[in-house]
Structure 1
Amino acid sequence: MDRISAIRNVEQALREFEAGEADLAATEERVLAALRTYATEFSDETGLAAYVGRGDGAVEDVVVVASSRAEARDRIAEHATDVPEAFTIERVE
């Protein structure tokens, strides 16, 4: 999914929410699905990859795009608060 398609999907989800055709939870799900699809396909085209932090609550589910696991670890640490010394990184597929 390219950037324009992702934006269109998000816009459609918001239109349906504003029209009362979808609730907030369904809208959040659609927006998240569009973003995750964009992130994983974006990774395929650029050589970058989406990575997610696992472990302590401060890093759990923090997703970043990076060129390596080491870079992903640094980026996750930058975005999280109270980062634990040890946490794992998984590539988002």
Structure 2
Amino acid sequence: MDRISALRNVEDALADFESGETDLEATERRVLNVLRTYATEFEDGDLTTYRATGGERAEGIVVVAESQSAARDRVTDLLDADELEFEVERMG
């Protein structure tokens, strides 16, 4: 899913919420599903998505980066910690 499609899907979800066709919980699920689909299908030239595994604080964090080492640096920066035990795996 490209960025424009993702934005349209989020916009549709918000419009349904505003019109009363769905409630907040359903809207949140729909938007979360759009974001997860976007992240797992992300393709942008040199960038790709990586998921952190292992280590309690890092587990499941997903970032976009140019390489596995850059992804590891991003996760470390996000958690503001230098010495964490975790790995990053390419998604998709």
Q: Same fold (TM over 0.5)?
A: yes
Structure 1 residue runs of 5 or longer lacking an equivalent are none
TM-score (norm 2): 0.77
Task: Please tell me whether the aligned partners of residues 3 and 38 of structure 1 are also in contact (alpha carbons under 8 angstroms).
Answer: yes
TM-score (norm 1): 0.77
C-alpha deviation, 1:73, in angstroms: 0.5
Higher helix share: 1
Q: CA RMSD in A?
A: 2.2
Identity of aligned residues (%): 52
Q: Report the number of matched residues.
A: 92
Task: Please tell me whether the aligned partners of residues 76 and 84 of structure 2 are also in contact (alpha carbons under 8 angstroms).
Answer: no
Structure 2 equivalent of residue 32 of structure 1: 32
Query: Whole-Å Cα distance in 2 between the matches of residues 40 and 46 of structure 1?
Result: 15
Deviations 1:19-49 (A, max 9, x none): 3322333222221222232233332x41321
C-alpha deviation, 1:59, in angstroms: 1.5
Are the structure 2 counterparts of residues 32 and 46 from structure 1 closer, same or farther at C-alpha, using a change threshold of 3 Å? farther
The runs of 4+ residues in structure 1 deviating greater than 6 Å are none
